[in-house]
Amino acid sequence: MADDDEWLEPDDQMGLREHQGKSLTIGWLMVALSQAGSDLPRELLVGHLLAAQTTTADLPVEIEFYDGTTSRTLHPMHIDVRADAGRPSAVVITVA
């Protein structure tokens, strides 16, 4: 999208998360999603974040692309929120 107004930028430089030499983990994904879902009940978000801080928090999030014959691993590089009229409409994970 060409219109920057259609993206919510809590941190005007990195969106919700940007790859900074570290893999995306379940813990980081939960933090990013909690920022995107700011209108969700706080108890629900806190519960999910606490659950993510258990033994699974450091597990990497892997994305695989399957083209019908073989698969290849893609690396999550950036997480941001697309917006419609200033309200979240989609969480976007950019991969490389």
Domain chopping of the chain, boundaries:
22-95
Q: pLDDT tens for residues 28-87?
A: 887 777 777 666 666 666 666 666 566 777 889 999 999 999 999 999 998 888 888 777
> Closest by alpha carbon to 45, among 56, 53, 34, 35?
34
Q: 20 has which bridge partners?
A: none
Query: What tokens appear for 20 in the block?
Result: 């900074």
Task: Name the pTM for this structure.
Answer: 0.69
